Chain A
Amino acid sequence: MASTKEIQNRINSIQDTMKITRAMYMMSSMKLRKARKKLEETEPFFKGTQIGLAECLAHFPDIRHIYFDNRVEDDHETVKKHGIIVFTGDKGMAGAYNHNAIKLAVDRVKGIAEGDECTLFVVGEVGRSFFMNGGYNVDENFRFSSNNPSMHRARVMAAYMIDLYNKGELDRIDVVYTKMLNSITEEVCVERLLPLKTHKFIKEQAEEIAADSEGVSKASREMKEGIKHVHSINSYEMEAISQGDTFIPFYPSVSVVLEKLVQNHFTAFCYGALVECSASEENARMMAMQSATDNAEAILHDLSIEYNRVRQAQITQEITEVIGGAKALKKKKEKKKLQNK
Protein backbone atom coordinates (compact mmCIF):
# COMPACT_ATOMS: atom_id res chain seq x y z
CA MET A 1 0.00 0.00 0.00
CA ALA A 2 1.23 3.49 -0.92
CA SER A 3 2.17 5.83 1.84
CA THR A 4 0.06 8.84 2.74
CA LYS A 5 2.65 11.15 1.28
CA GLU A 6 2.48 9.46 -2.12
CA ILE A 7 -1.29 9.54 -2.19
CA GLN A 8 -1.30 13.14 -1.11
CA ASN A 9 1.04 13.98 -4.00
CA ARG A 10 -1.22 12.26 -6.49
CA ILE A 11 -4.28 14.02 -5.14
CA ASN A 12 -2.56 17.37 -5.51
CA SER A 13 -1.45 16.70 -9.04
CA ILE A 14 -4.91 15.53 -10.08
CA GLN A 15 -6.43 18.60 -8.50
CA ASP A 16 -4.09 20.77 -10.54
CA THR A 17 -4.99 18.95 -13.76
CA MET A 18 -8.63 19.27 -12.92
CA LYS A 19 -8.24 23.01 -12.56
CA ILE A 20 -6.86 23.14 -16.08
CA THR A 21 -9.52 20.94 -17.63
CA ARG A 22 -12.21 22.90 -15.84
CA ALA A 23 -10.81 26.17 -17.16
CA MET A 24 -10.62 24.72 -20.67
CA TYR A 25 -14.18 23.54 -20.34
CA MET A 26 -15.32 27.05 -19.47
CA MET A 27 -13.33 28.54 -22.34
CA SER A 28 -14.67 26.16 -24.93
CA SER A 29 -18.23 26.50 -23.70
CA MET A 30 -17.92 30.23 -24.19
CA LYS A 31 -16.39 29.79 -27.64
CA LEU A 32 -19.04 27.25 -28.49
CA ARG A 33 -21.77 29.75 -27.73
CA LYS A 34 -20.15 32.20 -30.14
CA ALA A 35 -19.61 29.55 -32.79
CA ARG A 36 -23.19 28.33 -32.42
CA LYS A 37 -24.53 31.81 -33.00
CA LYS A 38 -22.44 32.15 -36.11
CA LEU A 39 -23.58 28.75 -37.30
CA GLU A 40 -27.20 29.71 -36.89
CA GLU A 41 -26.70 32.92 -38.82
CA THR A 42 -24.85 31.17 -41.60
CA GLU A 43 -27.15 28.22 -41.96
CA PRO A 44 -29.71 29.84 -44.31
CA PHE A 45 -26.89 30.97 -46.56
CA PHE A 46 -25.06 27.65 -46.46
CA LYS A 47 -28.20 25.69 -47.18
CA GLY A 48 -29.42 28.31 -49.65
CA THR A 49 -26.36 28.09 -51.85
CA GLN A 50 -26.57 24.32 -51.93
CA ILE A 51 -30.23 24.47 -52.88
CA GLY A 52 -29.44 27.20 -55.40
CA LEU A 53 -26.74 25.12 -57.01
CA ALA A 54 -29.01 22.08 -57.12
CA GLU A 55 -31.78 24.08 -58.75
CA CYS A 56 -29.45 25.56 -61.31
CA LEU A 57 -27.94 22.20 -62.17
CA ALA A 58 -31.38 20.69 -62.57
CA HIS A 59 -32.10 23.23 -65.29
CA PHE A 60 -28.67 23.34 -66.82
CA PRO A 61 -28.20 22.38 -70.45
CA ASP A 62 -25.88 19.49 -71.17
CA ILE A 63 -22.68 21.20 -72.19
CA ARG A 64 -19.05 20.32 -72.26
CA HIS A 65 -17.18 22.48 -69.80
CA ILE A 66 -14.18 22.21 -67.52
CA TYR A 67 -16.45 22.57 -64.48
CA PHE A 68 -18.21 19.34 -65.44
CA ASP A 69 -14.91 17.68 -66.30
CA ASN A 70 -16.42 16.41 -69.53
CA ARG A 71 -14.51 18.31 -72.17
CA VAL A 72 -13.10 16.15 -74.92
CA GLU A 73 -9.58 16.33 -73.49
CA ASP A 74 -10.90 15.44 -70.03
CA ASP A 75 -12.46 12.29 -71.41
CA HIS A 76 -9.10 11.24 -72.81
CA GLU A 77 -7.20 11.79 -69.58
CA THR A 78 -5.98 8.55 -68.10
CA VAL A 79 -4.78 9.99 -64.81
CA LYS A 80 -7.16 11.95 -62.66
CA LYS A 81 -5.68 14.28 -60.09
CA HIS A 82 -7.55 14.34 -56.82
CA GLY A 83 -7.49 17.13 -54.29
CA ILE A 84 -8.96 16.66 -50.85
CA ILE A 85 -9.57 19.57 -48.53
CA VAL A 86 -9.48 18.32 -44.96
CA PHE A 87 -10.79 20.47 -42.15
CA THR A 88 -9.17 19.80 -38.77
CA GLY A 89 -8.58 21.87 -35.67
CA ASP A 90 -5.57 23.97 -34.73
CA LYS A 91 -5.29 22.36 -31.33
CA GLY A 92 -5.72 18.92 -29.88
CA MET A 93 -7.56 18.07 -26.66
CA ALA A 94 -10.83 17.84 -28.49
CA GLY A 95 -11.74 14.22 -28.03
CA ALA A 96 -12.02 12.28 -31.25
CA TYR A 97 -12.74 15.35 -33.35
CA ASN A 98 -9.42 15.58 -35.19
CA HIS A 99 -8.96 11.86 -35.24
CA ASN A 100 -12.27 11.23 -37.01
CA ALA A 101 -11.64 13.78 -39.73
CA ILE A 102 -8.12 12.47 -40.32
CA LYS A 103 -9.31 8.88 -40.40
CA LEU A 104 -11.91 9.59 -43.04
CA ALA A 105 -9.41 11.53 -45.13
CA VAL A 106 -6.93 8.65 -44.93
CA ASP A 107 -9.68 6.25 -45.99
CA ARG A 108 -10.47 8.43 -48.97
CA VAL A 109 -6.83 8.62 -50.00
CA LYS A 110 -6.61 4.84 -49.82
CA GLY A 111 -9.80 4.49 -51.84
CA ILE A 112 -8.49 6.46 -54.79
CA ALA A 113 -8.01 4.36 -57.90
CA GLU A 114 -4.51 3.18 -58.60
CA GLY A 115 -2.46 5.44 -60.83
CA ASP A 116 -4.39 8.56 -59.83
CA GLU A 117 -2.59 11.33 -58.05
CA CYS A 118 -3.74 12.84 -54.81
CA THR A 119 -2.89 16.07 -53.04
CA LEU A 120 -4.15 17.03 -49.61
CA PHE A 121 -5.11 20.54 -48.65
CA VAL A 122 -5.26 20.68 -44.90
CA VAL A 123 -6.88 23.35 -42.80
CA GLY A 124 -5.74 23.41 -39.16
CA GLU A 125 -2.41 22.58 -37.61
CA VAL A 126 -3.25 19.19 -36.11
CA GLY A 127 -4.17 17.57 -39.41
CA ARG A 128 -1.35 19.38 -41.12
CA SER A 129 1.37 17.98 -38.92
CA PHE A 130 -0.20 14.53 -39.07
CA PHE A 131 -0.21 14.39 -42.86
CA MET A 132 3.21 16.01 -43.19
CA ASN A 133 4.75 13.46 -40.84
CA GLY A 134 2.84 10.61 -42.43
CA GLY A 135 4.47 11.30 -45.77
CA TYR A 136 1.32 12.35 -47.57
CA ASN A 137 1.39 14.71 -50.48
CA VAL A 138 0.37 17.95 -48.78
CA ASP A 139 0.16 21.28 -50.54
CA GLU A 140 2.65 23.56 -48.78
CA ASN A 141 1.12 26.83 -49.89
CA PHE A 142 -2.32 26.03 -48.57
CA ARG A 143 -1.99 27.32 -45.03
CA PHE A 144 -5.08 28.30 -43.18
CA SER A 145 -6.05 28.30 -39.56
CA SER A 146 -9.39 26.94 -38.48
CA ASN A 147 -9.84 29.47 -35.71
CA ASN A 148 -12.34 32.30 -36.02
CA PRO A 149 -13.79 31.56 -39.45
CA SER A 150 -14.07 34.57 -41.71
CA MET A 151 -15.54 35.15 -45.12
CA HIS A 152 -12.25 36.54 -46.28
CA ARG A 153 -10.41 33.32 -45.52
CA ALA A 154 -13.07 31.31 -47.31
CA ARG A 155 -12.72 33.58 -50.35
CA VAL A 156 -8.95 33.17 -50.47
CA MET A 157 -9.31 29.43 -50.03
CA ALA A 158 -11.90 29.11 -52.79
CA ALA A 159 -9.92 31.32 -55.18
CA TYR A 160 -6.80 29.23 -54.59
CA MET A 161 -8.56 25.93 -55.21
CA ILE A 162 -10.56 27.07 -58.24
CA ASP A 163 -7.41 28.49 -59.77
CA LEU A 164 -5.66 25.12 -59.41
CA TYR A 165 -8.68 23.41 -60.91
CA ASN A 166 -8.82 25.74 -63.88
CA LYS A 167 -5.12 25.30 -64.51
CA GLY A 168 -5.77 21.59 -64.80
CA GLU A 169 -3.67 20.69 -61.79
CA LEU A 170 -6.68 19.12 -60.11
CA ASP A 171 -9.55 17.19 -61.65
CA ARG A 172 -11.52 16.35 -58.55
CA ILE A 173 -11.95 18.37 -55.41
CA ASP A 174 -13.53 16.77 -52.35
CA VAL A 175 -14.09 18.26 -48.95
CA VAL A 176 -13.87 16.40 -45.66
CA TYR A 177 -15.46 18.34 -42.83
CA THR A 178 -17.29 17.75 -39.57
CA LYS A 179 -20.93 18.60 -39.35
CA MET A 180 -22.68 19.29 -36.07
CA LEU A 181 -25.95 17.38 -36.10
CA ASN A 182 -26.98 18.33 -32.57
CA SER A 183 -25.21 19.18 -29.36
CA ILE A 184 -24.10 15.59 -28.78
CA THR A 185 -23.50 14.03 -32.18
CA GLU A 186 -21.27 15.26 -34.90
CA GLU A 187 -20.50 13.54 -38.13
CA VAL A 188 -17.67 13.67 -40.61
CA CYS A 189 -18.92 14.30 -44.14
CA VAL A 190 -17.43 14.12 -47.60
CA GLU A 191 -18.75 16.24 -50.40
CA ARG A 192 -17.53 16.70 -53.94
CA LEU A 193 -17.29 20.36 -54.88
CA LEU A 194 -15.82 20.06 -58.34
CA PRO A 195 -16.55 18.91 -60.97
CA LEU A 196 -20.23 19.67 -60.78
CA LYS A 197 -22.74 16.96 -61.44
CA THR A 198 -24.19 17.06 -64.90
CA HIS A 199 -27.87 17.35 -65.54
CA LYS A 200 -27.86 13.89 -67.07
CA PHE A 201 -26.17 12.36 -64.04
CA ILE A 202 -28.58 13.91 -61.57
CA LYS A 203 -31.53 12.80 -63.63
CA GLU A 204 -30.29 9.24 -63.88
CA GLN A 205 -29.62 9.07 -60.16
CA ALA A 206 -33.00 10.58 -59.33
CA GLU A 207 -34.71 8.04 -61.54
CA GLU A 208 -32.79 5.23 -59.92
CA ILE A 209 -33.82 6.37 -56.47
CA ALA A 210 -37.43 6.85 -57.53
CA ALA A 211 -37.52 3.39 -59.11
CA ASP A 212 -36.07 1.79 -56.04
CA SER A 213 -38.93 1.95 -53.57
CA GLU A 214 -37.30 -0.09 -50.84
CA GLY A 215 -34.29 2.20 -50.64
CA VAL A 216 -31.70 -0.54 -50.85
CA SER A 217 -29.56 0.76 -53.69
CA LYS A 218 -26.31 2.57 -53.04
CA ALA A 219 -27.58 5.86 -54.43
CA SER A 220 -30.64 6.12 -52.22
CA ARG A 221 -28.80 4.88 -49.16
CA GLU A 222 -26.15 7.53 -49.50
CA MET A 223 -28.76 10.19 -50.03
CA LYS A 224 -30.61 9.21 -46.88
CA GLU A 225 -27.53 9.00 -44.75
CA GLY A 226 -26.61 12.41 -45.98
CA ILE A 227 -22.91 12.19 -45.32
CA LYS A 228 -21.30 11.09 -48.54
CA HIS A 229 -22.09 12.72 -51.84
CA VAL A 230 -19.22 11.93 -54.06
CA HIS A 231 -20.85 9.46 -56.40
CA SER A 232 -24.44 10.17 -55.51
CA ILE A 233 -26.80 13.10 -55.34
CA ASN A 234 -28.00 14.81 -52.18
CA SER A 235 -31.54 15.50 -51.11
CA TYR A 236 -31.46 19.08 -52.42
CA GLU A 237 -30.69 17.85 -55.89
CA MET A 238 -33.35 15.17 -55.63
CA GLU A 239 -35.92 17.75 -54.68
CA ALA A 240 -34.82 20.21 -57.33
CA ILE A 241 -35.00 17.69 -60.15
CA SER A 242 -38.38 16.45 -59.03
CA GLN A 243 -39.78 19.93 -59.62
CA GLY A 244 -39.09 19.81 -63.32
CA ASP A 245 -35.97 20.03 -65.38
CA THR A 246 -36.90 22.25 -68.27
CA PHE A 247 -34.30 24.61 -69.57
CA ILE A 248 -34.54 28.15 -68.21
CA PRO A 249 -32.74 31.27 -69.43
CA PHE A 250 -29.52 32.34 -67.76
CA TYR A 251 -28.61 35.96 -67.65
CA PRO A 252 -26.23 37.35 -68.94
CA SER A 253 -25.01 33.99 -70.28
CA VAL A 254 -24.69 30.36 -69.32
CA SER A 255 -20.92 30.55 -68.92
CA VAL A 256 -20.99 33.69 -66.76
CA VAL A 257 -23.64 32.18 -64.51
CA LEU A 258 -21.71 28.91 -64.31
CA GLU A 259 -18.52 30.73 -63.35
CA LYS A 260 -20.32 32.70 -60.66
CA LEU A 261 -22.20 29.63 -59.49
CA VAL A 262 -19.01 27.66 -58.96
CA GLN A 263 -17.25 30.52 -57.17
CA ASN A 264 -20.23 31.26 -54.96
CA HIS A 265 -20.86 27.67 -54.10
CA PHE A 266 -17.22 26.97 -53.42
CA THR A 267 -16.74 29.99 -51.21
CA ALA A 268 -20.00 29.44 -49.39
CA PHE A 269 -19.12 25.82 -48.83
CA CYS A 270 -15.68 26.66 -47.49
CA TYR A 271 -17.18 29.24 -45.17
CA GLY A 272 -19.96 26.92 -44.09
CA ALA A 273 -17.49 24.12 -43.47
CA LEU A 274 -15.24 26.45 -41.46
CA VAL A 275 -18.15 27.54 -39.31
CA GLU A 276 -19.48 24.00 -38.86
CA CYS A 277 -16.02 22.76 -37.99
CA SER A 278 -15.28 25.44 -35.44
CA ALA A 279 -18.59 24.73 -33.72
CA SER A 280 -17.94 20.97 -33.80
CA GLU A 281 -14.43 21.41 -32.51
CA GLU A 282 -15.47 23.52 -29.56
CA ASN A 283 -18.30 21.14 -28.86
CA ALA A 284 -15.97 18.14 -28.94
CA ARG A 285 -13.47 19.93 -26.74
CA MET A 286 -16.15 20.93 -24.29
CA MET A 287 -17.37 17.37 -23.99
CA ALA A 288 -13.85 15.98 -23.72
CA MET A 289 -12.99 18.44 -20.98
CA GLN A 290 -16.25 17.75 -19.21
CA SER A 291 -15.52 14.03 -19.10
CA ALA A 292 -11.91 14.72 -18.09
CA THR A 293 -13.16 16.77 -15.16
CA ASP A 294 -15.66 14.06 -14.27
CA ASN A 295 -12.94 11.42 -14.41
CA ALA A 296 -10.67 13.53 -12.25
CA GLU A 297 -13.45 13.84 -9.72
CA ALA A 298 -14.00 10.09 -9.69
CA ILE A 299 -10.28 9.44 -9.21
CA LEU A 300 -10.14 12.02 -6.44
CA HIS A 301 -13.04 10.32 -4.73
CA ASP A 302 -11.31 6.93 -4.86
CA LEU A 303 -8.01 8.40 -3.79
CA SER A 304 -9.50 10.20 -0.81
CA ILE A 305 -11.03 6.93 0.38
CA GLU A 306 -7.70 5.20 -0.04
CA TYR A 307 -5.94 8.07 1.69
CA ASN A 308 -8.28 7.85 4.69
CA ARG A 309 -7.85 4.14 4.85
CA VAL A 310 -4.08 4.37 4.86
CA ARG A 311 -4.20 7.14 7.45
CA GLN A 312 -6.51 5.10 9.64
CA ALA A 313 -4.30 2.04 9.29
CA GLN A 314 -1.37 4.14 10.30
CA ILE A 315 -3.16 5.49 13.36
CA THR A 316 -4.31 2.03 14.32
CA GLN A 317 -0.78 0.79 13.97
CA GLU A 318 0.55 3.63 16.09
CA ILE A 319 -2.02 2.95 18.77
CA THR A 320 -1.16 -0.73 18.76
CA GLU A 321 2.47 0.17 19.06
CA VAL A 322 1.80 2.52 21.95
CA ILE A 323 -0.37 -0.04 23.71
CA GLY A 324 2.18 -2.74 23.03
CA GLY A 325 4.91 -0.52 24.42
CA ALA A 326 2.83 0.36 27.47
CA LYS A 327 2.07 -3.27 28.06
CA ALA A 328 5.73 -4.18 27.81
CA LEU A 329 6.58 -1.46 30.30
CA LYS A 330 3.86 -2.66 32.66
CA LYS A 331 5.15 -6.20 32.48
CA LYS A 332 8.65 -4.98 33.20
CA LYS A 333 7.42 -3.06 36.22
CA GLU A 334 5.52 -6.03 37.52
CA LYS A 335 8.62 -8.17 37.08
CA LYS A 336 10.64 -5.63 39.05
CA LYS A 337 8.02 -5.58 41.78
CA LEU A 338 8.13 -9.35 42.05
CA GLN A 339 11.92 -9.34 42.23
CA ASN A 340 11.89 -6.63 44.92
CA LYS A 341 9.53 -8.63 47.07
Chain B
Amino acid sequence: MASLFNLKIVACDGVFYDGPSEMLIYPADDGEIAIMNHHEKMTGVVDIGEIRFKLEDGTWQHAIISDGLLSVYPDGGVKILAYSCEKPEDIDTFRAQEALERAQDALQQKQSYIEHQMSIANMARAMARLKGASQHK
Protein backbone atom coordinates (compact mmCIF):
# COMPACT_ATOMS: atom_id res chain seq x y z
CA MET B 1 0.00 0.00 0.00
CA ALA B 2 1.18 3.38 -0.86
CA SER B 3 1.80 5.83 1.96
CA LEU B 4 -0.96 8.11 3.13
CA PHE B 5 -1.24 11.86 3.05
CA ASN B 6 -3.65 14.19 4.75
CA LEU B 7 -6.47 15.38 2.56
CA LYS B 8 -8.73 18.26 3.48
CA ILE B 9 -11.67 19.34 1.38
CA VAL B 10 -13.42 22.52 2.47
CA ALA B 11 -16.72 23.58 0.89
CA CYS B 12 -18.68 26.71 1.62
CA ASP B 13 -21.10 24.82 3.87
CA GLY B 14 -18.49 23.15 6.00
CA VAL B 15 -15.53 20.79 5.92
CA PHE B 16 -16.38 17.94 3.58
CA TYR B 17 -13.50 15.62 4.39
CA ASP B 18 -10.48 15.83 6.63
CA GLY B 19 -8.44 12.70 6.96
CA PRO B 20 -5.87 10.35 5.46
CA SER B 21 -5.97 9.35 1.83
CA GLU B 22 -3.82 7.24 -0.46
CA MET B 23 -4.57 8.84 -3.78
CA LEU B 24 -6.65 11.71 -5.05
CA ILE B 25 -7.92 12.09 -8.60
CA TYR B 26 -9.36 15.42 -9.62
CA PRO B 27 -10.60 16.93 -12.87
CA ALA B 28 -8.36 19.64 -14.31
CA ASP B 29 -8.60 21.74 -17.44
CA ASP B 30 -7.00 19.07 -19.62
CA GLY B 31 -8.16 15.81 -18.08
CA GLU B 32 -7.88 14.10 -14.75
CA ILE B 33 -4.86 14.38 -12.52
CA ALA B 34 -3.91 12.01 -9.73
CA ILE B 35 -1.99 13.06 -6.66
CA MET B 36 -0.21 10.68 -4.33
CA ASN B 37 1.90 11.23 -1.26
CA HIS B 38 5.15 13.25 -1.61
CA HIS B 39 3.78 15.18 -4.52
CA GLU B 40 5.67 18.30 -5.49
CA LYS B 41 4.49 21.43 -3.75
CA MET B 42 2.08 23.22 -6.07
CA THR B 43 -1.15 25.10 -6.59
CA GLY B 44 -3.69 23.97 -9.14
CA VAL B 45 -7.18 24.57 -10.39
CA VAL B 46 -9.99 22.04 -9.89
CA ASP B 47 -12.68 21.97 -12.54
CA ILE B 48 -16.36 21.25 -12.08
CA GLY B 49 -16.79 17.50 -12.06
CA GLU B 50 -16.15 14.43 -10.01
CA ILE B 51 -13.25 13.84 -7.67
CA ARG B 52 -12.39 10.54 -6.08
CA PHE B 53 -9.98 9.64 -3.36
CA LYS B 54 -8.83 6.33 -1.97
CA LEU B 55 -9.40 5.90 1.73
CA GLU B 56 -7.17 4.09 4.17
CA ASP B 57 -9.13 0.86 3.79
CA GLY B 58 -8.70 0.89 0.01
CA THR B 59 -12.23 1.94 -0.92
CA TRP B 60 -12.80 4.82 -3.26
CA GLN B 61 -14.87 7.74 -2.11
CA HIS B 62 -16.55 9.72 -4.86
CA ALA B 63 -17.74 13.30 -4.64
CA ILE B 64 -19.15 15.87 -6.99
CA ILE B 65 -17.23 19.10 -6.76
CA SER B 66 -17.70 22.55 -8.16
CA ASP B 67 -14.74 24.63 -9.24
CA GLY B 68 -12.06 25.46 -6.76
CA LEU B 69 -8.40 25.56 -5.93
CA LEU B 70 -6.08 22.84 -4.78
CA SER B 71 -2.79 23.26 -2.98
CA VAL B 72 -0.16 20.69 -2.08
CA TYR B 73 1.92 21.42 1.00
CA PRO B 74 5.56 20.52 1.62
CA ASP B 75 4.55 17.75 4.02
CA GLY B 76 2.49 16.12 1.27
CA GLY B 77 -0.85 17.31 2.63
CA VAL B 78 -3.47 18.42 0.13
CA LYS B 79 -6.11 21.06 0.63
CA ILE B 80 -9.00 21.73 -1.72
CA LEU B 81 -11.19 24.79 -1.44
CA ALA B 82 -14.37 24.57 -3.48
CA TYR B 83 -17.77 26.21 -3.47
CA SER B 84 -19.54 22.93 -3.01
CA CYS B 85 -18.69 19.29 -2.58
CA GLU B 86 -21.28 16.57 -2.21
CA LYS B 87 -21.50 12.82 -2.03
CA PRO B 88 -23.43 11.35 -4.97
CA GLU B 89 -26.09 9.92 -2.66
CA ASP B 90 -26.70 13.33 -1.09
CA ILE B 91 -27.52 15.04 -4.35
CA ASP B 92 -31.08 16.09 -4.84
CA THR B 93 -31.60 14.92 -8.42
CA PHE B 94 -34.84 16.77 -8.72
CA ARG B 95 -33.27 20.07 -7.74
CA ALA B 96 -30.29 19.53 -10.01
CA GLN B 97 -32.61 18.70 -12.92
CA GLU B 98 -34.52 21.91 -12.31
CA ALA B 99 -31.32 23.91 -12.12
CA LEU B 100 -30.16 22.37 -15.38
CA GLU B 101 -33.39 23.32 -17.12
CA ARG B 102 -33.21 26.84 -15.73
CA ALA B 103 -29.65 27.23 -16.94
CA GLN B 104 -30.58 25.91 -20.39
CA ASP B 105 -33.48 28.31 -20.56
CA ALA B 106 -31.26 31.19 -19.59
CA LEU B 107 -28.71 30.22 -22.20
CA GLN B 108 -31.29 30.31 -24.96
CA GLN B 109 -32.28 33.85 -24.24
CA LYS B 110 -30.10 36.64 -25.46
CA GLN B 111 -28.14 38.07 -22.60
CA SER B 112 -25.05 39.86 -21.49
CA TYR B 113 -21.63 38.27 -21.43
CA ILE B 114 -21.52 37.80 -17.65
CA GLU B 115 -24.94 36.22 -17.52
CA HIS B 116 -23.91 33.94 -20.33
CA GLN B 117 -20.80 32.82 -18.45
CA MET B 118 -22.79 32.28 -15.28
CA SER B 119 -25.38 30.18 -17.08
CA ILE B 120 -22.66 28.03 -18.59
CA ALA B 121 -21.12 27.49 -15.17
CA ASN B 122 -24.52 26.76 -13.63
CA MET B 123 -25.23 24.25 -16.35
CA ALA B 124 -21.87 22.54 -15.87
CA ARG B 125 -22.52 22.22 -12.14
CA ALA B 126 -26.00 20.82 -12.62
CA MET B 127 -24.79 18.33 -15.22
CA ALA B 128 -21.91 17.19 -13.01
CA ARG B 129 -24.33 16.61 -10.15
CA LEU B 130 -26.79 14.66 -12.28
CA LYS B 131 -24.02 12.57 -13.80
CA GLY B 132 -22.52 11.81 -10.42
CA ALA B 133 -25.86 10.95 -8.90
CA SER B 134 -26.87 8.62 -11.70
CA GLN B 135 -23.56 6.76 -11.75
CA HIS B 136 -23.62 5.85 -8.08
CA LYS B 137 -27.17 4.74 -7.69
List A residues at the B interface (Cβ < 8 Å): 41-42, 44-45, 48-49, 52, 55-56, 59, 151, 155-156, 159-160, 163, 248-252, 256-257, 260-261, 264, 267-268, 271
Contact of B42 among A155, A156, A250 (CB under 8 A): A250
Scoring A45, A48, A59, A156 by chain B CB atoms within 10 A of each residue's CB, the highest score goes to A45
Report the separation of the CA atoms of residues A134 and B90 in the bound assembly, to the nearest whole angstrom: 49
From A44, A155, A249, B118 is in contact (CB under 8 Å) with A155
Nearest residue, chain B, Cβ from A251: B44
When distances are taken between beta carbons in the complex, the residues of chain A under 8 Å from B2 are none
A160 partner residues in chain B, CB cutoff 8 A: 114
CB pairs A–B below 8 angstroms (20 shown): A41-B14, A42-B13, A52-B69, A52-B79, A55-B43, A151-B12, A163-B113, A248-B41, A248-B42, A249-B40, A251-B28, A251-B42, A256-B45, A260-B67, A264-B67, A264-B68, A264-B81, A268-B12, A268-B81, A271-B12
Contacts of A252 in B (CB 8 A): 28-30, 44-45
Q: Distance (Å) between the CB of A197 and the closest chain B CB? A: 17
Chain A residues with Cβ under 8 A from B114's Cβ?
A: 159-160, 163
Write out the residue numbers on chain B whose beta carbons fall within 8 Å of the beta carbon of A42. 12-14
Which residues from A are CB-within-8-Å of B44? 250-252, 257
Contacts of A55 in B (CB 8 A): 43, 71
A261 and B46 CA atoms in complex are apart in Å by 11
Which residues in B have their C-beta under 8 angstroms from that of A41? 12-14
* Bound-state Cα–Cα, A264 to B30, Å: 20
Q: Specify which chain A residues have a CB less than 8 angstroms from the CB of B113 in the assembled complex.
A: 163
Interface of A is mostly: helix
Find out whether the CB atom of B117 lies under 8 angstroms from the CB atom of A267: no
B83 interface residue, CB < 8 Å from A? yes
Total count of chain B residues near the partner, CB < 8 A: 29
User: Given known contacts A45-B10, A159-B117, A256-B29, is B40 in contact with A151 (CB within 8 Å)?
Assistant: no
Instruction: Return chain A residues, CB-CB under 8 Å to B121.
Output: 155
CA distance A217 to B121 in the complex (A): 45
**Distance, CA A48 to CA B82, complexed state (A):** 10
Bound-state CA distance A45–B67 (Å) is 14
B43 contacts A257, C-beta separation under 8 Å? yes
Q: Is B15 an interface residue (CB 8 A)?
A: yes
Q: Are B30 and A44 in contact (CB under 8 A)?
A: no
- Give the shortest distance, in Å, between B80 (CB) and chain A (any CB): 9
Residues of chain B lying within 8 A (CB to CB) of residue A256: 29, 45
Closest chain-A Cβ to B53's Cβ sits at a distance in Å of: 18
Q: Can you list, as one digit per residue, whether each of B16-31 has a CB less than 8 Å from chain A (1) or not (0)? A: 0000000000001110
CB within 8 A of A56: which of B13, B43, B67?
B43
Q: Which residue of A lies closest to B99 (CB)?
A: A152
Cβ contact of B71, chosen from A45, A56, A156, A159, cutoff 8 A: A56
Task: Check if A48 sits within 8 Å of B83, measured CB to CB.
Answer: no
Given contacts A56-B69, A151-B84, A257-B69, 19 further A-B contacts (CB under 8 A): A41-B13, A42-B13, A42-B14, A44-B10, A45-B14, A48-B79, A52-B81, A151-B12, A151-B83, A160-B114, A163-B113, A248-B40, A249-B41, A250-B43, A250-B44, A251-B45, A252-B28, A257-B43, A271-B12
**Least Cβ distance of B35 to chain A in Å?**
10
Q: Does B124 contact A (CB under 8 A)?
A: no
Q: For residue A159, which residues in chain B have a CB less than 8 angstroms away from its CB?
A: 114, 117-118
B67 proximity list for chain A (CB < 8 A): 260, 264
A45-B81, A248-B42, A252-B30 in contact; A264/B14 too (CB < 8 A)? no
Query: Is B45 in contact with A260, judged by CB distance below 8 angstroms?
Result: yes
Best-surrounded residue of B29, B83, B121 (most CB of chain A within 10 A): B83
B11, CB-defined interface residue at 8 Å: yes
Pick from B15, B29, B43, B84: contact of A59, CB under 8 Å: B43
Q: Which of B50-92 contact A (CB under 8 A)?
A: 67-69, 71, 79, 81, 83-84
Query: B10 touching A48 by the CB < 8 A rule?
Result: yes
Nearest B-chain residue to A45, judged by Cβ: B12
Task: Choose among A44, A163, A248, A267 the residue that contacts B83 (Cβ–Cβ < 8 A).
Answer: A267
C-alpha spacing A121/B63, complex, angstroms: 36
Q: Identify the closest chain A residue to B15 (Cβ).
A: A44
Q: Would you give the shortest CB distance from B92 to chain A, in whole angstroms?
A: 15
Q: What is the CB-to-nearest-CB distance from B110 to chain A, in angstroms, rounded to a whole number? A: 18
Q: What is the CB-to-nearest-CB distance from B43 to chain A, in angstroms, rounded to a whole number?
A: 5
Task: Let me know if A49 and B42 touch, CB within 8 A.
Answer: no
State the CA gap A282–B79 with chains docked (Å).
33
